[in-house]
């Protein structure tokens, strides 16, 4: 009999539940919280409250869509961290209560491992890579290059020293008057722009680490300078600004990915996280450097419970179960 796992994700502003049968996703329900848009970023307390409202209907919908009665579940997997503590507590407490009432095992999942291991969802990438490979997590909260020796033997070899790549998109987008999350909006506007029209600064950071705060400051100063001469500068140049910014961010990312691949002598690179939906990033390396890049399907890029459920399945096979008294962790390294 295939193993059926219910996955629950509530680390930030998406409440999500998914049911997986071995590595095949039967349902993956994600609700977004529009309440944050007007604040220009996620408001932690509002996120926790919205999770409380959403969690039961979302789990119910995931079970219904999968056509599974909860009594046939084999385990509950949930996001233990990293993330917003109040948000994590909602999903974690719900998962624990359900595992206790159904008398089935509980499996804790590291959200950042899950973004990478989403690769192993049956209908995600057509071809799966072998270990070792490099995982590249690019999201609103993280920017990291991870050396993956095995499913649960991962090591961060490079990460951001300040802002994440998603913050670079979102904060610069805010300066352009774009609402949170600005990343997808910049991506869309950039499609109509000339990416070589403007030049923005790239950081000089040793090793495999990243920095995006300098770009943010440079972008701000550039806008201020041009707005002094022409108050309609942003309106007139929005497409070119977005395209040039997107190119700079993409180049900063790939410079380090290339160095990491060379250092570790690895050709296979698995991307994860919301920013991996970006079409410039997805297109950049085609047929270059012999590198083989694996990008998730769009529904598995942003936060989703299918990625939590696949880790649940991988852990279940190894009998890696969790105690009910585990604390959620706002900071939780891979």
Question: Where on the chain is the footprint of Zn ion (CB under 5 A)?
Answer: 139, 303
CB nearer to ligand KG4: pick between 104 and 112: 112
Stretch that binds ligand KG4, among 217-225, 263-271, 272-280, 325-333 (CB under 6 A): 272-280
Q: Which does 17 bind (CB under 5 to 8 A by kind): Zn ion, ligand KG4, none?
A: none
Q: Mask of contacts with ligand KG4, 287-316, x by CB under 6 A?
A: ---------------xx-------------
The separation between CA 36 and the C-alpha centre of its own chain, rounded to angstroms, equals: 18
Choose the stretch contacting ligand KG4; rule: CB under 6 A; options: 100-108, 118-126, 134-142, 236-244.
134-142
**Is the CB of 113 or the CB of 278 nearer to ligand KG4?**
278
Q: Is 21 helix (H, G, I), strand (E, B) or coil?
A: strand
Q: Is 170 one of the binding residues for ligand KG4 (CB under 6 A)?
A: yes
CA dist 247 and 255 (Å) reads 12
Residue from 91, 105, 140, 158 binding ligand KG4 (CB under 6 A): 140
Asked whether the beta carbons of 55 and 91 are under 8 A apart, the reply is: yes
CA-based angle 42:221:226, to the nearest 5?
A: 115
Q: Which is nearer to ligand KG4, 106 or 253 (CB)?
A: 253
Q: Which residues are CB-contacts of 122 (< 8 A; sequence separation ≥ 6)?
A: 22, 23, 24, 25
Only one of the segments 68-76, 145-153, 271-279, 323-331 lies at the binding site for ligand KG4 (rule: CB under 6 A); that segment is 271-279
Binding mask 180-199 for ligand KG4 (x = CB under 6 A): -xxxx--x------------
- Tell whether residue 275 is a contact of ligand KG4 (CB under 6 A): yes
**Contact (CB, 8 A) for 147 and 157:** yes
What is the per-residue binding string for ligand KG4 in 1-40, x denoting contact by CB under 6 A? -----------x----------------------------
Q: Which of 278, 295, 308, 322: binder of ligand KG4 (CB under 6 A)? A: 278
CA 169 to chain CA centroid, nearest Å = 14
**How many C-beta atoms lie closer than 10 Å to residue 326's C-beta?**
14
DSSP symbols for 183-239: HHHHHHHHTTS-TTS--------STT-B--HHHHHHHHHHHHHHHHH-TTHHHHHHH
Contacts of 249 (CB under 8 A, 6+ apart): 165, 168, 169, 212, 215
Cα–Cα distance measured from residue 254 to residue 288, given in angstroms and rounded to the nearest whole number = 12
141 binds ligand KG4 (CB under 6 A): yes
* Cβ at position 190, least distance to ligand KG4 in Å: 9
Q: Dihedral of the CA atoms 220, 225, 226, 230 (nearest 10)?
A: 120
Q: Is 110 one of the binding residues for ligand KG4 (CB under 6 A)?
A: no
Q: Decide whether 75 or 277 has the Cβ nearer to ligand KG4.
A: 277
d(CA 80, CA 96): 11
Please select the residue that binds ligand KG4; options are 7, 82, 158, 273, rule is CB under 6 A: 273
Binding window for ligand KG4 (CB under 6 A); candidates: 44-52, 178-186, 251-259, 325-333: 178-186
Cβ proximity to Zn ion, 138 vs 247, nearer residue: 138
Give the separation between CA 1 and CA 291, rounded to whole angstroms: 38
Residue 277 interacts with ligand KG4 (CB under 6 A)? yes
Task: Output the DSSP codes for 135-179.
Answer: EEEESSS-EEEEEEEETTEEEEEEEBSSS-HHHHHHHHHHHTTPP
Asked if 82 interacts with ligand KG4 (CB under 6 A), we say no
Interface with ligand KG4 includes 81 (CB under 6 A)?
Answer: no
- Summarize as ranges the residues that interact with ligand KG4 (CB under 6 A): 12, 139-141, 166, 169-170, 181-184, 187, 273-275, 277-278, 302-303
């Amino acid at each position: 009999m295939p193993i059926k796992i219910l996955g629950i994700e509530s680390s930030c502003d998406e409440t999500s539940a998914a049911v997986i049968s071995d590595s095949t996703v039967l349902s993956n329900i994600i609700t977004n919280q529009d309440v944050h848009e007007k604040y220009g970023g996620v408001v932690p307390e509002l996120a926790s409250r919205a999770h409380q409202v959403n969690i039961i209907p979302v789990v119910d919908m995931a079970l219904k869509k999968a056509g599974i009665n909860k009594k046939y579940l084999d385990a509950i997997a949930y996001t233990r961290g990293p993330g917003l503590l109040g948000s994590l507590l909602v999903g974690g407490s719900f998962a624990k209560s359900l595992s206790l009432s159904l008398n089935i095992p509980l499996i804790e999942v590291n959200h950042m491992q899950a973004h990478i291991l989403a690769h192993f969802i049956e209908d995600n990438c057509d071809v799966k890579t072998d270990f070792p490979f490099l995982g590249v997590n690019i999201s609103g909260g993280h920017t990291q290059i991870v050396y993956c020796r095995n499913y649960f033997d991962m090591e961060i070899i490079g990460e951001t020293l300040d802002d994440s790549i998603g913050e670079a998109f979102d904060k610069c987008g805010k300066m352009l008057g774009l609402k949170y999350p600005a990343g997808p909006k910049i991506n869309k506007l950039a499609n109509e722009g000339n990416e070589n029209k403007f030049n923005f600064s790239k950081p000089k950071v040793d090793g495999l680490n990243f920095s995006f705060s300098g770009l943010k400051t440079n972008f701000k100063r550039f806008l201020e300078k041009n707005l002094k001469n022409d108050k309609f500068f942003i309106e007139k140049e929005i497409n070119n600004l977005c395209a040039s910014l997107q190119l700079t961010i993409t180049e900063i990312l790939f410079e380090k990915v290339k160095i990491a691949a060379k250092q570790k002598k690895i050709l296979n690179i698995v991307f994860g996280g919301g920013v991996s939906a970006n079409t410039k990033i997805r297109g950049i390396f085609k047929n270059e450097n012999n590198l083989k890049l694996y990008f998730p399907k769009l529904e598995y890029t942003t936060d989703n419970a299918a990625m939590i459920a696949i880790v649940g399945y991988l852990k279940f096979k190894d009998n890696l179960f969790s105690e009910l008294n585990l604390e959620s962790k706002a900071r939780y390294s891979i």
